[in-house]
């Protein structure tokens, strides 16, 4: 058997790239969408709070970028018609970013894609394998979370 470290590294890298490739193909498969994966995930972030939207700072934190970088991405999606900005009634310095009607449609479309992908994966495993897989991936995820430097 190949060295565990080498095998694990190859599996993690391949899996990461395959997921990105699948999502890229999904985005390219619909000519109506003119979005990158990063833009799609920004819409997902904003859509996660349907009532209030997200502040620019919350979006920057989610994207792990500086506020000006997030603002550029938000403005680009606003010009594409997926987002709109709303000044807070309580604090005029705060801006809430919300999905437009088209933004909601794209976010729902993306969620449906993820549900479909997960359901297809689920068919590949027995109940026992699914339980083991979830426990293992949770342990792996917890390892990565523990090792992310705190900013």
Calculate mean pLDDT across residues 31-57. Answer: 89
Q: What CATH class is the domain 35-146?
A: mainly alpha
pLDDT of residue 52: 80
The pLDDT of residue 124 is above 70 = yes
pLDDT of residue 1: 54
Give residue 151's pLDDT band: very low, low, confident or very high (50, 70, 90).
low
SS (H, E, C) the chain: CCCHHHHHHHHHHHHHHHHHHHHHHHHHHCCCCCCCHHHHHHHHHHHCCCCCCEEHHHHHHHHCCCHHHHHHHHHHHHHCCCEEEEECCCCCCCEEEEECHHHHHHHHHHHHHHHHHHHHHHCCCCHHHHHHHHHHHHHHHHHHHHCCCCC
pLDDT of residue 2: 65
Give residue 48's pLDDT band: very low, low, confident or very high (50, 70, 90).
very high
């Amino acid at each position: 058997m190949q060295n565990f470290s080498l095998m694990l590294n190859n599996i993690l890298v391949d899996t990461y790239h395959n997921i990105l490739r699948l999502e890229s193909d999904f985005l390219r498969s619909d000519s109506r969408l003119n979005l990158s994966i990063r833009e799609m995930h920004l819409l997902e972030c904003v859509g996660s709070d349907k009532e209030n939207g997200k502040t620019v700072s919350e979006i920057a934190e989610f994207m792990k970028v500086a506020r000006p970088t997030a603002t550029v991405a938000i403005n680009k999606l606003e010009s594409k018609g997926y987002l709109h900005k709303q000044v807070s009634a309580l604090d005029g310095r705060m801006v809430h970013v919300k999905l437009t009607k088209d933004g909601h449609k794209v976010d729902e479309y993306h969620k449906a894609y993820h549900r479909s992908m997960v359901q297809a994966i689920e068919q590949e495993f027995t109940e026992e394998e699914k339980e083991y897989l979830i426990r293992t991936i949770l342990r792996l995820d917890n390892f990565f979370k523990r090792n992310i430097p705190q900013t």
